[in-house]
Amino acid sequence: MSDPRATARAIDALRRGWPIRIGALALLPVETADAGRLAAFDPEGIAPLLLSAGRAATLKLANQREAAEPDAPVLIDRAPWLDFAMATALADPQLDLATPMKGPFRALPLIAAADAAAALRLARIAGLLPAFFAQPAGEAEVTITPADIDAHEDATRLTIAARARLPVAHAEDAEIVAFRTPESPGEHVALLIGEPDGRAPLVRLHSECLTGDALGSLKCDCGPQLDAAIREIEASGWGILLYLRQEGRGIGLVNKLRAYALQDQGYDTVDANTRLGFAIDARDFGVAARMLELLGQRTVRLLTNNPAKVAGLEAAGIAVVERVPHFLPPNPHNEKYLATKRDRTGHQL
């Protein structure tokens, strides 16, 4: 039996810097632990450092391993100079330019590959840098399995928690519906606009962007896209805006801001994510499909430039009968961001 509650406890432990166990690996998170915790976790100073493939490639360590899979995590041997401060520098790309690398570092054969991959996934879910000290022995606050993480992320656990009329600036005839699972703190929301008229609704999947949605950031197109989506759905007669709590394409606000800091050093949005050790897009649109199902809609017209959203919904059983482009004029701050979407992530712009 998988236990999503155990995953919630593991996330809490990681955010507080305590060790957890996933399957065969005891894991201490680099971002939130400290040198004292490391000494207690690994008194002999032998636990290697677990990093993502993207991070290891950035550090020129990926080519050392014999891994069959290019995305497999990488274990870095615990050389005497790999102390807590050095681990932090290896984990956090913001320090790449500031920290002269000591080294040399050596990649070890990966043990417990599935558990190691699950650890990196859990770091992303917890909004932390994907880096751990990892060893078979060692005390842990909580023990989980990779299946427990799947259960925690299982969109079928989503239910409607509350609904109410919500007139908004660009759609006075609207209703808000909130969805949640027992363990995830962020509630997803649907804004139902207009009255169903027998046609497939015009649907927009909007991923949370605090900087763009609430603060008017000019670095991306999220704020204007959100605004325009509500207007377009209203003008179309009826439809649904899904507001998904997938900040930073699923890496969380803090990691997105780290990506922004890397962008200030000249990396684009794709390379910034890779240097941090994350997938280019960590979102799972199964949650959106589940929300549409709970709202009784299995056929939609989708407002997007992103083919991955169409594919994601269709893979989860929603028929997308039409893709409606959703392009807003660029500004001087987001021109490069939009060009990267077009040139590197397959957006149809």
In the chain, count of helices (H) and strands (E)? 14, 14
Judged by CB under 6 A, the stretch of 17-25, 33-41, 58-66, 245-253 that binds ligand GTP is 245-253
Judged by CB under 6 A, the stretch of 125-133, 144-152, 202-210, 313-321 that binds ligand GTP is 202-210
Task: Tell me if 204 is assigned to a ligand binding site.
Answer: yes
Q: How far is CA 29 from CA 37, 138, 181, 184, 291, in A?
A: 10, 13, 26, 20, 33
Q: Under the criterion CB under 6 A, does residue 55 sit at the interface with ligand GTP?
A: no
Residue 303 to residue 289: CA distance in whole angstroms: 15
- Catalytic residue (one of 42, 115, 268, 281): 281
- Catalytic residue (one of 21, 121, 275, 283): 283
In whole angstroms, what separates CA 66 from the centre of its chain? 28
Q: Under the criterion CB under 6 A, does residue 249 sit at the interface with ligand GTP?
A: yes
Residue 120: count other Cβ atoms within 10 Å of its Cβ.
25
Q: Under the criterion CB under 5 A, does residue 259 sit at the interface with Zn ion?
A: no
CB within 8 Å of 214: residues ≥ 6 apart? none
Sites for Zn ion among residues 194-213 (CB under 5 A): 209, 212
Q: Is the peptide bond before 104 cis (omega within 30 degrees of 0)?
A: yes
Task: Tell me if 184 is assigned to a ligand binding site.
Answer: no
- State both tokens at 301: 């017209």
Alpha helix (H) residue ranges in 194-252: 210-213, 222-236, 247-250
281 carries an active-site annotation? yes
Using the rule CB under 6 A, which residue among 148, 234, 247, 271 binds ligand GTP? 247
How many residues line the site for Zn ion (CB under 5 A)? 4
Q: Is 292 helix (H, G, I), strand (E, B) or coil?
A: helix
User: Residue 184: which of Zn ion, ligand GTP, none does it interact with, CB under 5 to 8 A by kind?
Assistant: none
Query: What backbone torsions phi and psi does residue 333 show, to the nearest 5 degrees?
Result: -85, -25
Using the rule CB under 6 A, which residue among 306, 312, 313, 320 binds ligand GTP? 306
- State both tokens at 263: 């962008």
Give least dist CB 279 to Zn ion, A.
Answer: 18
Would you tell me the crossing angle of helices 269-276 and 253-264 to the nearest 10 degrees? 120
How many residues line the site for ligand GTP (CB under 6 A)? 23
Query: What backbone torsions phi and psi does residue 37 show, to the nearest 5 degrees?
Result: -65, -40
User: Residue 273: which of Zn ion, ligand GTP, none does it interact with, CB under 5 to 8 A by kind?
Assistant: ligand GTP
Task: Tell me if 304 is assigned to a ligand binding site.
Answer: yes
| Site track 210-249 with Zn ion (rule: CB under 5 A), x = hit | --x-------x-x---------------------------
Which residues contribute to the site for ligand GTP (CB under 6 A)?
206-209, 220, 222, 225, 246-249, 251, 256, 259, 269, 273, 304-306, 309, 326, 341, 347
Which residues contribute to the site for Zn ion (CB under 5 A)?
209, 212, 220, 222
- Residues making up the annotated binding site are 204-209, 220, 222, 225, 247-249, 269, 304, 309
Please give the positions annotated as active site: 281, 283
